[in-house]
C-alpha cells in the first residue's frame, strides 16, 4: 500500500475523529447543494476515474454528481464497456487508467479486497465504492450523516440491522462506523444469512424480529438478493417475508419512536412493504441526498485541496 | 542416481532416526552408497577423492517431500521437473514425489514414463504419483497395476477430492494388493462451495467466501471408515484442522492403516494474516486455519498422529497469482523454505527435537511410500543432507531456483538451512561448505 497517498478502503479501524471530520465536511458541502448554482471549483484539475466492475446505478450516479459538483474531471468505466470482458486483468486496466494521470480511482468490484489490491499497485488514491461482501464505506458514512441529522448525536443510539448480513458490505461498514461512534448495534436475520463469529464485532444477534425491534431507534433494512433463495439459503421468499419482512403490523406493536433506513434498491414486498418504505418513518430518500454530500467530502479530503466555500 | 568414487563427510553430527544414531562421526560414501560410519574415537581414511568438512554441522538422511506439484507436462512456464528438482535440492531435499494433476493428468503408463524420462535430467530423485481416476474426473479407476509396474509410488487425485464414496471404496480395495497408499485430498466440495479462505471470524470480516473446517473433516471421517472397512492403505494429504487431527488420532488408536501429513504453512500461519493484506499468497487449499488448529497440528506432530511434513509445493505464475484474492488460484511454493521454516519455528522454539524433525521430513515419508532413502544404514543409497542449524538467512523469492515466486514468506529471516545436498553419493547442491 502506498502510504504517501490517502485512501478510503473501509471503516474498519477509522477513528471517530476522522469520521466526524468527514461528516462535518459533508455538512458544509450540503450547504453548497442548496445553492442555485450547485458547483464549486474545489477540485478543478483533479481527475477521477470511476471503475464500476459491477452493476450499480445509485452509487455510480452519486459519485459522478459529487465529482461534477466539485468541478473534477471524470472518466467512467464500467465492465460492460471495458476491456475486462476481453480478459484484461484488473491490474492492467488500472495501470492504463493511471498512465492517463488519474488522481483518484473510485472502484466498485465483486471481489473483496479489489480496492486494496489497486491501492497496493497504483500511485492514485483509491476509494472503495463497494467490494463484494466486505465494505461499502461511503454508504455507511452517508447513513451516519443521516442519523446525525435526525438524532443530533450517534452515541447511545440503538440500531437494528435486519436481513442478509452474510452478503452485506453495507452491514459491515455500518457496524464499524456505528460502533466507533458509540451506537449499539443488533443484527436480526435467518441463521443461514448470519455469518460465523459476527458477535465478535461487538454486536448482538437475534434470530427473531420480535426480540430485536423493541427499543430500536433505527431499523435498518437490508436488500434481500433474490438469488439467496435459489442458493438454498432460504426455503422461500414467502417465508422470509413472513419471518423477517418489515411490515406496518409489526411496527404497530412498537412503543418507541424510530426511523426506517434502507440502502436501496428496495425489493418492495420482500424485505419491506411499500407502505413502510414510503411511510412517515422512512428516511430512505434523505440517505440518497446525503450520499452526494458525503462523497463530495471524501473526494475533497483525499484530494488534499483547500476548499474556500 | 549413483555417483562413482568416494566422498568423506568429516566430523559432522550424524542424526539418523532410522538407526538411532546421534553423534559426531565421519561418514564415508563409496560408489553412491553409505560405506561406513566411524565408531567413536575412530577416524576414517583420507584416501577419498573428496572430503567435506562438516564440523558444527548436522548430517542427516536426505529430506523427502512426498507432496509436490511440478507442473510438467502442461505448465512448464510455472515449473518443470528439472527446475522443481533444483528448488528441491536447494531446500535440502534428495527426493520428491510429484502429483498427477498436470495437463494432461498422469493417469496412464505413458504419463508415468514421461515423468520418469524427464526425471533422468533432474537433480534429485523424482517419484511419480498417478491419478486415482482417469482424467482426475472421479469416475473410473485408473489402471493401477500398470501404473505401479511403470513406477508409480502412490495414487492420488490431489487437487480434487474423490467425491464419490463408491469410487474411493473401490480404489482402496483394489490398490491394497499392490501395497501402495491412496493419498486423499479431503474436501467436501459441496460444503466448501465457492469458499476461498477458512470460514471464521476472518472470512466474516472480509466478506470472503468461507471453507468450513467440516468440509475437510467429513471427508477425513469418510475415508477413515472406508480404510477400516476395506483394509486399504490411506494417506491423508495436508491436514489443516483440529477436528481432523482427533479423527486420525482415534483411527490410529484403533489400528486402522492411516497415515497423515501436514505442511509448514498450516503449522505456522493463521487466517488472520489475510486481514488488511488480502495477499493472494495466503490463499491455498486447504486454507490457513485458526490458532487452535495450529496448536492441534503441532500436538499431532509431537504425539505421532502426524507422520510427515510435506510442502504441497504449488507453483503459480505471477499473471495468475497477482490478482484480486477471489480470482487467484490456490497454492504456494515451499521447497526452498520448508526446512528453514520448520527449524526456525519448531526446532529453535523448542517445540520439536531434531530427531523428530528428521523423522517427519525423511524417515517417515520414505516409509509411507516405500522409497529408497530415509536412513543412513551401511549399504543404503548415499542420499544425505547437511544442515547448518545456526545459519541465518533471508528468504528472497527473486533468487529461488523454482520458476515461481508465489510464497508468503518473502523477506522472512530464517534460522537453519541445508548447506549441502547429496544424492546417490553425488553433491548436487552446496553453499559455503
Please report whether residue B374 resides in a domain: no
What would you report as the CA-atom Rg of chain A, rounded to the nearest whole angstrom? 19
pLDDT for residue A2 is more than 60: no
**B42 and B138 co-located in one domain:** no
The residue range of the domain holding B410 is: 6-59+380-430
pLDDT of the residue at A81: 53
What is the full per-residue pLDDT of chain B (433 aa) written as tens digits?
A: 788 889 999 999 999 999 999 999 999 999 999 999 999 888 887 677 899 999 999 999 999 999 999 999 999 999 999 999 999 999 999 999 999 999 999 999 999 999 999 999 999 999 999 999 999 999 999 999 999 999 999 999 999 999 999 999 999 999 999 999 999 999 999 999 999 999 999 999 999 999 999 999 999 999 999 999 999 999 999 999 999 999 999 999 999 999 999 999 999 999 999 997 899 999 999 999 999 999 999 999 999 999 999 999 999 999 899 999 999 999 999 999 999 999 999 999 999 999 999 999 999 999 999 998 999 999 999 999 999 999 999 999 999 999 999 999 999 999 999 999 999 999 999 998 8
Question: In Å, how far is B332's CA from the nearest CA of chain A?
Answer: 19
Residue B1: inside a domain = no
* pLDDT exceeds 50 at position A1: no
Residue from the list B201, B319, B324 with its beta carbon closest to the beta carbon of A114: B324
Inter-chain CB proximity B324 and A201 less than 8 Å = no
* Residue B375 within any structural domain of the chain: no
Name every chain A residue with its beta carbon within 8 A of the beta carbon of B205.
Answer: 12, 172, 201
> B100 with B246, same domain?
yes
**B273 found inside a domain:** yes
Q: Which residues of B touch A (CB under 8 A)?
A: 199-201, 203-208, 210, 276-278, 319, 322-327
Query: How many distinct helices (H) and strands (E) make up chain A?
Result: 12, 9
Q: Which strand (E) or helix (H) includes residue A295?
A: helix A284-303
Examine the domain organization and report whether B259 and B342 are in the same domain: yes
At residue A162, φ and ψ (nearest 5 deg) are: -115, 130
My answer on whether B206 and B101 are in the same domain is yes
What interface predicted TM-score (ipTM) does this complex get? 0.93
Is B204 within 8 Å of A197 when comparing Cβ atoms? yes
Same domain, B101 and B204: yes
Q: Which of A12, A91, A197 sits opposite B323 (nearest CB)?
A: A91
Number of structural domains chain B divides into:
2
Q: Domain check: are B263 and B135 in the same one? A: yes
pLDDT of residue B128: 98
B91 lies in the same domain as B207? yes
The backbone torsions φ and ψ at residue A50, rounded to the nearest 5 degrees and listed phi first, read -100, 110
- What does the alpha-carbon distance between residue A300 and residue A28 come to, in Å, rounded to a whole number? 12
Q: Are A109 and B324 inside 8 Å of each other by CB?
A: yes
* B407 lies in the same domain as B352: no
**B360/B328 same-domain check:** yes
In this structure, is residue B90 part of a structural domain? yes
Using an 8 Å CB-CB cutoff, list chain B residues near A166. 204
Give the start-end residues of each E strand in B220-335: 234-236, 258-262, 308-309
The per-residue pLDDT for A226 is: 85
CATH code, B154: 3.20.20.140
Whether pLDDT at A146 is above 80 = yes
Assigned domain for B424 exists: yes
Of the residues B16, B312, B380, B383, only one is catalytic, namely: B312
Q: What is the pLDDT of residue B46?
A: 66
Residue A100 pLDDT: 85
Residues B88, B204 share a domain: yes
Query: Measured in Å, how far apart are chain A's first and last C-alpha atoms?
Result: 33
pLDDT digits (tens, 9 = 90+) for B110-156: 999 999 999 999 999 999 999 999 999 999 999 999 999 999 999 99
Q: Please report whether residue B275 resides in a domain.
A: yes
Chain A, chain B: beta-carbon pairs less than 8 Å apart:
66
Asked whether the beta carbons of residue B208 and residue A132 sit closer than 8 angstroms, the reply is yes
User: Choosing among B199, B203, B204, which should be mutated to test the A contact, i.e. which has the most A CBs within 10 A?
Assistant: B204
CB contact under 8 A, B326 and A112: yes
Look at residue A84 and tell me whether its pLDDT is greater than 70: no
pLDDT tens, A207-235? 999 999 999 999 999 999 888 888 889 99
Q: Is residue B312 among the annotated active site residues?
A: yes
CA dihedral B148, B152, B157, B158 (to 10 degrees): 150
Query: Strands B197-198 and B258-262: what pairing?
Result: unpaired
pLDDT digits (tens, 9 = 90+) for B184-231: 999 999 999 999 999 999 999 999 999 999 999 999 999 999 999 999
Q: A-chain residues within 8 Å CB-CB of B273?
A: none
Look up the pTM and report it. 0.94
Whether residue B269 sits in one domain with residue B333 = yes
Closest approach of A109 to chain B, Cα-based (Å): 10
Contact call for B207 and A117, based on CB within 8 A: no
| CATH code for the domain in which residue B33 is found | 2.30.40.10
Give A220→chain B minimum CA distance, Å.
Answer: 19
Final residue belonging to a domain, choices B318, B338, B369: B369
Instruction: Give me the residue label for grid cell 565421519.
Output: B26
- At A87 the pLDDT is 64
**What is the grid cell recorded at B67?**
507432496
Query: Torsion angle, CA of B192/B204/A239/B188, rounded to 10 degrees?
Result: 10
DSSP code of residue B135: G
Q: Based on the domain organization, do B312 and B397 belong to the same domain? A: no
Q: Please check whether residue B245 lies inside any domain of the structure.
A: yes
Residue A80 pLDDT exceeds 70:
no
Amino acid at each position: 500500500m502506498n502510504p504517501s497517498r490517502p485512501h478510503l478502503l473501509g471503516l474498519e479501524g477509522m477513528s471517530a475523529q476522522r469520521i466526524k471530520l468527514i461528516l462535518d465536511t459533508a455538512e458544509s458541502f450540503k450547504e453548497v447543494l442548496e445553492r442555485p448554482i450547485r458547483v464549486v471549483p474545489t477540485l478543478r484539475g483533479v481527475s477521477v476515474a470511476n471503475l464500476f466492475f459491477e452493476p450499480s446505478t445509485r452509487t455510480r450516479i452519486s459519485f459522478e454528481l459529487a465529482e461534477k459538483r466539485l468541478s473534477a474531471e471524470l472518466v467512467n468505466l464500467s465492465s460492460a464497456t471495458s476491456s475486462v470482458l476481453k480478459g484484461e486483468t484488473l491490474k492492467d486496466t488500472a495501470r492504463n487508467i493511471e498512465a492517463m494521470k488519474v488522481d483518484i480511482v473510485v472502484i466498485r468490484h465483486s471481489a473483496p479486497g479489489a480496492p486494496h489490491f489497486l491501492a497496493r499497485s497504483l500511485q492514485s488514491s483509491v476509494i472503495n465504492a463497494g467490494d463484494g461482501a466486505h465494505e461499502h464505506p461511503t454508504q455507511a458514512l452517508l447513513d451516519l450523516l443521516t442519523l446525525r441529522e435526525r438524532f443530533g448525536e450517534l452515541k447511545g443510539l440503538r440500531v437494528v440491522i435486519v436481513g442478509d448480513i452474510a452478503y452485506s458490505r453495507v452491514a459491515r461498514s455500518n457496524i464499524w462506523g456505528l460502533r466507533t461512534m458509540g451506537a449499539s448495534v443488533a443484527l436480526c436475520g435467518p441463521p443461514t444469512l448470519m455469518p460465523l463469529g459476527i458477535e465478535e464485532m461487538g454486536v448482538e444477534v437475534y434470530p427473531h424480529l420480535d426480540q430485536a425491534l423493541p427499543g430500536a431507534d433505527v431499523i435498518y433494512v437490508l436488500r434481500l438478493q433474490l438469488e439467496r433463495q435459489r442458493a438454498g439459503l432460504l426455503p422461500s421468499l414467502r417465508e422470509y417475508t413472513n419471518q423477517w419482512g418489515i411490515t406496518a403490523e409489526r411496527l404497530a406493536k412498537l412503543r418507541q419512536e424510530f426511523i426506517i433506513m434502507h440502502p436501496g434498491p428496495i425489493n418492495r414486498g420482500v424485505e419491506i412493504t411499500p407502505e413502510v418504505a414510503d411511510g412517515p418513518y422512512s428516511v430512505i430518500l434523505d440517505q440518497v441526498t446525503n450520499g452526494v454530500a458525503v462523497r463530495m467530502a471524501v473526494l475533497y479530503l483525499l484530494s488534499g485541496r483547500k476548499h474556500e466555500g | 542416481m549413483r555417483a562413482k568414487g568416494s566422498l568423506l563427510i568429516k566430523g559432522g553430527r550424524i542424526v539418523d532416526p532410522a538407526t538411532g544414531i546421534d553423534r559426531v562421526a565421519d561418514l564415508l560414501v563409496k560408489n553412491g552408497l553409505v560405506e561406513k560410519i566411524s565408531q567413536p574415537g575412530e577416524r576414517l581414511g583420507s584416501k577419498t577423492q573428496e572430503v567435506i568438512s562438516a564440523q558444527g554441522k548436522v548430517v542427516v538422511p536426505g529430506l523427502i517431500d512426498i507432496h509436490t506439484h511440478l507442473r510438467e507436462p502442461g505448465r512448464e512456464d510455472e515449473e518443470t521437473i528439472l527446475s522443481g528438482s533444483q528448488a528441491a535440492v536447494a531446500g535440502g531435499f534428495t527426493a520428491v514425489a510429484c502429483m498427477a494433476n498436470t495437463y494432461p493428468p498422469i493417469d496412464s503408463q505413458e504419463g508415468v514414463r514421461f515423468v520418469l524420462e524427464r526425471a533422468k535430467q533432474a537433480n534429485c530423485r523424482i517419484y511419480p504419483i498417478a491419478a486415482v481416476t482417469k482424467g482426475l474426473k472421479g469416475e473410473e479407476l485408473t489402471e493401477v497395476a500398470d501404473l505401479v509396474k511403470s513406477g508409480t509410488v502412490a495414487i492420488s487425485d490431489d487437487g480434487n477430492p474423490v467425491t464419490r464414496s463408491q469410487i474411493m471404496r473401490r480404489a482402496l480395495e483394489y490398490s491394497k494388493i499392490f501395497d501402495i497408499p491412496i493419498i486423499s485430498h479431503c474436501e467436501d466440495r459441496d460444503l466448501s462451495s465457492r469458499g476461498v479462505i477458512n470460514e471464521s471470524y476472518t472470512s466474516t470480516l472480509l466478506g470472503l467466501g468461507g471453507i468450513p473446517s467440516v468440509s475437510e473433516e467429513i471427508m477425513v471421517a469418510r475415508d477413515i471408515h472406508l480404510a477400516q472397512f476395506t483394509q486399504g492403505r490411506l494417506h491423508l494429504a495436508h491436514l489443516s484442522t483440529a477436528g481432523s487431527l482427533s479423527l486420525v488420532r482415534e483411527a490410529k488408536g484403533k489400528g486402522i492403516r492411516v497415515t497423515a501429513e501436514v505442511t509448514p504453512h498450516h503449522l505456522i500461519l493463521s487466517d488472520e494474516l489475510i486481514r488488511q493484506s488480502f495477499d493472494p499468497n495466503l490463499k491455498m487449499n486447504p486454507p490457513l486455519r485458526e490458532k487452535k488448529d495450529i496448536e492441534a497440528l503441532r500436538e499431532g506432530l509431537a504425539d505421532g498422529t502426524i507422520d510427515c511434513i510435506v510442502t504441497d509445493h504449488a507453483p503459480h505464475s505471477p499473471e495468475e497469482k497477482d490478482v484480486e484474492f477471489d480470482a487467484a488460484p490456490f497454492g504456494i511454493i515451499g521447497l526452498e523454505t520448508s526446512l528453514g521454516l520448520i527449524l526456525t519455528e519448531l526446532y529453535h522454539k523448542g517445540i520439536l527435537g531434531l530427531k523428530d524433525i528428521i523423522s517427519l521430513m525423511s524417515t517417515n515419508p520414505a516409509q509411507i511410500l516405500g522409497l529408497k532413502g530415509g536412513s543412513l544404514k551401511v549399504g543404503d543409497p548415499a542420499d544425505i543432507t547437511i544442515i547448518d542449524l545456526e545459519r541465518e538467512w533471508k528468504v528472497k523469492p527473486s533468487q529461488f531456483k523454482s520458476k515461481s515466486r508465489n510464497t508468503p514468506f518473502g523477506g522472512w529471516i530464517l534460522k537453519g538451512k541445508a548447506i549441502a545436498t547429496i544424492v546417490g553419493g553425488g553433491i548436487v547442491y552446496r553453499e559455503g561448505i
